[in-house]
Amino acid sequence: MSAGKNKLGLIAGNGRFPFLVLDAARAQGHEVIVVAIKEEALPVIESHGTTVHWLSLGELSKLIETFKREGVQRAIMAGQVKHKQIFSSIRPDWRLAKVLLSLGTRNTDSLLGAIAKVLADEGIALENSTSFLEPLLAKRGVLTKRVPSEQEMRNIAYGRGVARHLAQYDIGQTVVVAETTCVAVEAMEGTDATIERAGQIMASLESGPSTLSRALTMIKIAKPNQDMRFDVPVIGLKTIEVMRKAGATCLALDADRCLLLDGDAIIIAADAAEIAIVAD
């Protein structure tokens, strides 16, 4: 493998995802050039012994110039960039402004897809964000000690239908259900905030006995034509803790298309909280 082909560009957003990709790629002998997004990436990424360039979300031209100067021809996006950032005070450069103006809809798929095309036109191929992390993808079946109850399975079937219908519009990847009733749907706020909102709704109900269970089931799916290069569904230990506090007892995922960022530690935490996890 030539030196150029052995270089990998990493566009780092927030959370642990970029660190996992960085460590896995380096373990396989790749030299990783990190472009860390100022508005999202954690500063500690500089302590991981690799080249780090800090760029703003709006600096698409500088991103391309940086990768070209470093001899990068392959790149990976890892880590969340909040969709609401496009409405923030960030000023796009001329290249990103051109991308934004070309879009009919400014959802995650269309925006990142257009950026990926610009990179490809400049000789930088964007690869699947899970390329180095396949062991962390959720495997098919029940992953926890506790198997979902019959009611939870009904919630999952209903929630998957709702989520799959909404996901085609780039919303609703996370749906929270109780007694086959939709309690909350994810929009721009993110998964954890959606679960918290569902818990708050249930907590706001009168405290007397109810004929219906208030236990929540969370369904997180990939999009119908999920582009594995970006915006891959991700679950971490924090998600399990948020579920526990919200009164959620079951989590349903798409097998082979959702990353368990903390690996087996997520299953251990779910078992401790008596939360069932199933992937299908």
pLDDT per residue as tens, the chain (280 positions):
444 568 999 999 999 999 999 999 999 999 999 999 998 999 999 998 788 999 998 899 999 999 999 999 999 999 987 766 666 657 889 998 898 888 877 777 788 888 999 999 999 999 999 999 999 999 999 999 999 999 999 999 999 999 999 987 878 789 999 999 999 999 888 899 999 999 999 999 877 777 788 899 999 999 888 888 888 899 999 999 999 999 999 999 999 999 999 999 999 999 999 999 999 9
N-term to C-term CA, the chain = 37
> Residue 1: what pLDDT?
41
Instruction: Name, in order, each residue with C-beta under 8 angstroms of 95's C-beta and a sequence gap of 6 or more.
Output: 60, 61, 64, 118
Give, as one character, the DSSP assignment of residue 41.
S
User: What CA dihedral angle connects 96, 101, 107 and 113, to 10 degrees?
Assistant: -60
Measured in degrees and rounded to the nearest 5, phi and psi for residue 32 equal -105, 125
* Alpha-carbon distance values, 209 to 5, 87, 148, 268, 279 (Å): 63, 43, 23, 32, 32
Kindly report the pTM of this predicted structure: 0.88
